[in-house]
Chain A
């Protein structure tokens, strides 16, 4: 897919989380990593790209479609996407299974039996067999995040958007979750991933968008970005992150 953003601005009060962010990816980008320092606008850009937020200004085009700015259009668009958040955001009053079947039934019009079958298939694939009927509080962070990925994947989304999916996890659980994401990427899923896991991004991403201070500083192929970052900011960022790993 080809992503193009033009002067996207999103303000929260006086603070502009995105301040005229513009970039364009290659025509065949499939796994796009959003990198950059915290507070640079990665999460906000991810939400705009997934239609979870409507920008105050500017426009986003995916292939030839321009993303809508009205709530109904954004809702229709969101229903084709899958989201995974840093804090998992599972529904605490529902079991892992119900977390997945609820949107399948209510949003995607599946029957109860179909939804359950699809949910079980995913839970088993993501290594959560035996945990189907547990509530989120009874699962570890890694298990919760995998359940959240299962929920996002269940309706077969056109685009999977992940917002720092491993930032709240310890290294072992981080490994579990990154394995799942890598398998999805290798299986052909279109992904946009905001992350600080630089070596993971280097391994799975084919395009990198580097943000700082609400602006896109650099947008280039992953191979190019990791070998020859153009801006001083990006060089500094990469050096800082790879210091101890």
Chain B
């Protein structure tokens, strides 16, 4: 704890020195005037992220199952989806997804489209994290599950998933933290989440930098506790194998 405080004080001093060395006139009044808009943006970001997390975990799980399916066409389809989505930038996916696909399907709900696209993007990464965790369960565990008479679904439910969960946890939290940060890109399809609100504010106040500092803080107050929670969960699930 003491160590953390010392570290924090040191980091603050460094940042202070850096900020004062730049010849820039800081003016926080505009930020303060836009605090309510900022708050709405924050809420939108959190709501988007939360729903996208649920979508991504569900999709990641399904893609993982698909990649392990005994039926080859399904395996290839899910593998292809994962590789395509992981292999291309989120920005491109958002633009194509919103301006071409959603447009063609006559979906005029950027928030809905945004959540689905973000959920798909992170879901593809989660699928691989989940697959790695599931495939790390040893063959002898699967044989034991067969030997006690569990069927396939029961084996997943009682043997594979509980053990894989623990192994997937660190990677999954990292990915969910990324998701919250990646949601900032949704501003490009016109969703008024946090970043978009800050851009609007900066434009209106003619201040290009002030808004970004509270912006970073607004992400950190969610992402840091999330990482902390994940470490606690990891400890709770810890057991020797």
- Residues of A bordering B, CB below 8 Å: 50, 52, 75, 78-79, 81, 83, 85, 87, 89-93, 102-103, 106-108, 135, 137-138, 151-152, 155
Across-interface contacts of A137 in B (CB, < 8 A): 239-241
Task: From known contacts A93-B162, A93-B163, A93-B239, infer whether A103 and B150 are also in contact, taking CB-CB under 8 Å.
Answer: yes
- Does residue B140 face the partner (Cβ distance < 8 Å to A)? yes
Q: Which residue of B lies closest to A138 (CB)?
A: B240
C-alpha gap A89/B148 in the complex (Å):
11
Q: Assess whether A89 is in contact with B144, with CB atoms less than 8 Å apart.
A: yes
Q: Assess whether A91 is in contact with B141, with CB atoms less than 8 Å apart.
A: yes
C-alpha gap A151/B147 in the complex (Å):
10
Q: Assess whether B143 is in contact with A107, with CB atoms less than 8 Å apart.
A: no
Q: Assess whether B154 is in contact with A106, with CB atoms less than 8 Å apart.
A: yes
Q: Assess whether A102 is in contact with B241, with CB atoms less than 8 Å apart.
A: no
C-alpha gap A103/B146 in the complex (Å):
10
Q: Number of A-B pairs whose CB atoms are under 8 Å?
A: 63
Q: Assess whether B140 is in contact with A85, with CB atoms less than 8 Å apart.
A: yes
Across-interface contacts of B89 in A (CB, < 8 A): none
- Among B144, B148, B158, chain A packs the most CB atoms within 10 A around the CB of B148
B149, B158, B159, B240: the one within 8 Å of A78 (CB): B149
- Does residue B151 face the partner (Cβ distance < 8 Å to A)? yes
Please give 20 more A-B residue pairs, beta carbons under 8 A apart, in addition to A79-B149, A151-B148.
Answer: A52-B143, A78-B149, A83-B148, A87-B140, A89-B140, A89-B141, A89-B144, A89-B147, A91-B158, A91-B159, A92-B163, A93-B162, A102-B148, A103-B149, A103-B150, A106-B154, A107-B148, A137-B239, A137-B240, A155-B149
Q: Which residue of A lies closest to B147 (CB)?
A: A83
